[in-house]
Structure 1
């Protein structure tokens, strides 16, 4: 029975026979048509960073299930919120299948934190990292110019924000405004805002496009997701790197973004940013008018004080007539004494002049001149005769002194037969002591000099030098001076009569030996 049943062919049915690939493709089409784009909320699990291909693979899970997720390389670079392990997110993408594993997955196209708590946690973490780098330091803040010439605004070109700012600037103090239009929400908004800030700072001062003196980054209110572009790191770093002072006006007064911490001044609203940017023109004009009025009043008060002081000084000064009265009185007294004084002075000089005339009459100048001429004529020949005799006497005296000098010189002694002995250095020798055998000596005679050598030196043994007896020149009677006989014995006697020393010199000149080194040295020969 069982064998027959096994051999009996199975009854035919009308069900379609599927291949595995066809079934996988049909399931994929069915799943994609049924769900399409979905927003899926879950916690990221199993994220290990990008794959070598640039794609990212992880899972989204909640308390009951999990689903695989993939982010393609091109999409990953555009994600505003990058995947992070354990982060609860809301993923937007397409549901599809993966036939290789018989599984379904979500291909993520955008990713954002789920719920206000996740956004705030991410914001606080980013704020902590940037603050640690010093981007929010108070010393990095720049002062806002009091009255900027050009104001640059980074905001959406449409909407109420730009109109409110322009209207407030016009009301307070009209300024030249440059608007850099950007998207302030959604994908790519952060990059546009950062590019606008960098673009304004890159303008050249004095160029064709004026460089702003102040920047305003503004946006209207919204949720934390709507304002998230101003929390992006690229915007914060662009604001920190700029050199133009920046006012942030993002959201309402209660909204706080990271650009508020890095900006130089935070405004509660875009309208408040315009009020911070420029002063009120009418208030400024009123202040200037008030200062001018106060300055004018101060000047008038100073002039009045000076005028009062001048009046007081004038009252303290004496009257001109009173001041000059004493001077006038002294002048009158001097004038009264001047006429008699002049008359008396003229009389005195007249009397002196009369005395001079009287003396001249008693002693006329012509008579005094004649007497002087007679005295001059009487002594006319005497000065010439006295001068001739005086010159003759002086000539005789000079000749006598010359002859005496010649007779007292050592050459006169040499002429009488003496000789002067010198050593090789030209020094005169006073005795034989110290002479060496063969020593060269120079002997000077009256008619020349000879060079000799000694055969023996020093004094003879057992002998002593003969004692020298000084000779005294004989005294002679004084005779009258004879200019023609100067240098003879009579001249020597005459000199001795008036001067003993001169008599001794004259006696030596006549031939008396003299105890001199030249005489002693000459005795050697």
Structure 2
């Protein structure tokens, strides 16, 4: 029996530590609420943490409880949490002794009824519609006769068999199937990746790029068709360069991909009918058009033949056409002899006038004048050549004198250049010494700044750096597992250590300056340096 310091009355209550009390409360809560289903609205959701865990809160109009989804459970969720979404969470309630808080650890999560899904669907439809993804101006026309059709669907269902059967009956073409999941976790990402994969194919590659795409799935409930309401699927369908036909569900089923697709088909079979025409109908139409072409060609030839015959009857005869040219030819041939005689007489008179002025005396005088002119030109050329030779001799004499005085001029120039070079060398040495001094002072200043900012100066004041097995610094106790080998760096060296206690999980919204659970670290047998005692 013990007595209180401030009371004389004895008490039978045993004293326990805060850790023991927190642990007892934790075990009691986890035992009493090890499996609960909670309905509430998601609040404070900002997506998964960098660790893969998700932290948020569930609330109603009167209360609020923190919630966490561990990484392993988050990847298995059928629906991704969204801010403001009403859900039903299944999990267990636990406490976090470090801050005296309790929270629910969620294992499964589902929307709170079809009403919540419809509200979420309408909100997503308004958001994507506001971005213009459903704009009719974005939609493309389907090709009339595609050579390759790409189908995005499950390879094991009846949908692909119906599509292939319908295409074979109507117009057999090459069909490329991209197998995907059409329901469940990850199915939306697979469908979006399939659409982008078809668009990335080379038109001339081993697997040709399709001329039209069909995204198909059989009927089902709203939850079964939810993958085709995924935002990634809608954006992939809207960005597709290949015309896309949406054939999801029955005629009464509508998903968001139906709004983004170029054409919506009521059923997968209807999509196959939209993609290709009926070959038999085309053959009949071609035969009909060929018969009409032959008939019109025959009628056209008959009409042209009749017109030609009428034109031939209107043409004059050959004698009528040649009568006038023949008369002109006869008249020209009759006047040809007379014209030749007149031309000969005229040319003879011109020749006689020209020969009348040709006499031997005139030719001899002209030759004598030509010889005199040539002799005078020869004399002028000789005098010009002599004057040119005299000028060249004078120029060569001046050049010889200049060359003789060149060494004296060059020696003076070389001496001036040598003195100038010596001056420049002295100035360069001085400038180099000054530049080296400035650079040395700058390097010393940076070195002093680097030493002042070095973490080793902090270690000299009694601090230490804890590193993991990969020699990377550890900044949070939550990142250290029990039994993990550690390296503790002090100012005078390093020692090896081992963590012997685990830490409690972080709260839903940890703060950068919030206190973290401490760990006891036992010094290993291979530690070096002086005895440090307990590190924490």
Residue pairs, 1:228-243, within 5 angstroms: 228-243=226-241
Structure 1 residues 142-151 or 166-175, which shifts more? 142-151
Q: For the Cα contact (< 8 Å) 1:172–1:280, is it kept in 2? A: yes
SS class of match (2:105): strand
Listed one character per residue, the Cα deviations across residues 174-197 of structure 1 (whole Å, up to 9, x for unaligned) are 111111110111110001001111
What's 2:283 paired with?
285
- In the alignment, structure 2 segments of 5+ residues that lack a partner are 1-8, 13-19, 324-536
Distance 1:259 1:49, change over 3 A: closer
Distance verdict in 2 for CA 1:103–1:236, change over 3 Å: same
Which residue of the partner structure matches residue 156 of structure 1? 154
CA distance in 2, matches of 1:40, 1:289: 70
| Rounded Cα–Cα distance in structure 1 between residues aligned with 2:213 and 2:46 | 41
Residues 94-105 of structure 1 mapped to structure 2, 5 A cutoff: 94-98=91-95, 100=97, 105=103
Matched residue of 1:183: which SS? Answer: coil
Aligned counterparts of 1:230 and 1:24: Cα–Cα separation in 2: 43
Q: Secondary structure of the residue that 1:209 maps to in structure 2?
A: coil
Cα displacement string for residues 359-378 of structure 1 (whole angstroms, at most 9, x for unaligned residues): xxxxxxxxxxxxxxxxxxxx
- Equivalent position of 1:210 in the other structure: 208
Q: Quickly say closer, same or farther: Cα 1:39–1:217, change in 2 above 3 A.
A: farther
Equivalents in 1 of 2:243, 2:303: separation in Å? 48
Alignment of 1:235-314 (within 5 A): 235-309=233-307
Shift of 1:268: 0.9
Q: Deviations over 1:296-335 (max 9, x none)?
A: 1212222343455567678x679x9xx89x99xx9xxxxx
How far apart, in 2, do the equivalents of 1:268 and 1:45 lie? 39
The CA distance in 2 between the partners of 1:160 and 1:48, in whole Å, is: 40
Match of 2:142 in 1: 144
Note the C-alpha offset of 1:52.
Answer: 7.8
Please list the CA deviations of residues 19-38 of structure 1 after superposition, one character each: whole Å capped at 9, or x if unmatched. Answer: 87467447635654xx4xx6
**Secondary structure in structure 2 of the residue aligned to 1:211:** coil
User: Closer, same or farther in 2 for the Cα pair 1:181/1:85, shift >3 Å?
Assistant: closer
Q: 1:183 aligns with which of 174, 181, 191?
A: 181
Name the residue aligned to 2:190. 192
Residues 1:132 and 2:127 aligned together: no
Cα pair 1:50 1:57 within 8 Å, conserved: yes
For residues 302 and 199 of structure 1, the distance between their equivalents in structure 2, rounded to whole angstroms, comes to: 53
Instruction: Show the counterpart of 1:28.
Output: 30
Question: What CA distance in whole angstroms lies between the structure 1 residues aligned with 2:29 and 2:108?
Answer: 25
The equivalent of 2:437 in structure 1 is: none
Shift of 1:246: 0.9
Q: 2:238, 2:261 within 8 Å by CA — same for their partners in 1? A: yes
- Determine if contact 1:95/1:104 at 8 Å carries over to the other structure: no
Conserved 8 A contact 2:94-2:105: no
Distance change in 2, residues 1:48/1:202 (3 Å): closer
Q: 1:95/1:203 Cα in 2 relative to 1: closer, same or farther (>3 Å)?
A: same
1:97-496 to structure 2, matched below 5 A, reads: 97-98=94-95, 100=97, 105-309=103-307
> Shift in Å at residue 248 of structure 1?
0.8
Residues of 1 paired with 2:177 and 2:76: CA distance? 26
Contact 1:220–1:250 (8 Å) recurs in 2: yes
| CA 1:137–1:48: 2 relative to 1, 3 Å | closer
Superposed displacement of residue 111, structure 1: 3.2
> CA-atom RMSD, angstroms?
3.8
SS in 2 for 1:177: strand
Q: Distance in 1 between matches of 2:47 and 2:227?
A: 24
Sort the Cα spacing of 1:204 and 1:48 in 2 relative to 1 into closer, same or farther, 3 A. closer
CA distance in 2, matches of 1:253, 1:272: 10
121-130 vs 50-59, greater mean Cα deviation: 50-59
Q: How far apart are residue 293 of structure 1 and its match?
A: 1.3
Cα deviation, residue 155, structure 1: 0.3
Higher relative contact order (CA 8 A, sep 6+): 2
SS in 2 for 1:187: coil
**Aligned partners of 1:53 and 1:183: how far apart in 2?**
28
CA contact (8 A) 2:91 2:108 kept: no
3-state secondary structure, aligned to 2:266: coil
* Partners of 1:258 and 1:181 in 2: CA distance: 21
Paired residues of 2:203 and 2:209 also in contact (CA < 8 A): yes
Question: Deviation digits for residues 328-385 of structure 1, max 9, x if unmatched?
Answer: xx9xxxxxxxxxxxxxxxxxxxxxxxxxxxxxxxxxxxxxxxxxxxxxxxxxxxxxxx
Bigger shift: residues 250-259 or 296-305: 296-305
Q: Conserved in 2, the CA contact under 8 Å of 1:97 and 1:104?
A: yes
CA distance in 1, matches of 2:161, 2:300: 50
Give the distance between the partners of 1:181 and 1:50, measured in 2 at CA: 29
Q: Contact 2:153–2:182 at 8 Å: present in 1 too?
A: yes
- In 2, the alpha carbon distance for the partners of 1:85 and 1:185 equals 24
Number of equivalent positions: 307
Distance of 1:47 and 1:307 partners within structure 2 = 87
TM-score normalised by length of structure 1: 0.51
Query: Which residue number in structure 2 is paired with residue 44 of structure 1?
Result: 42
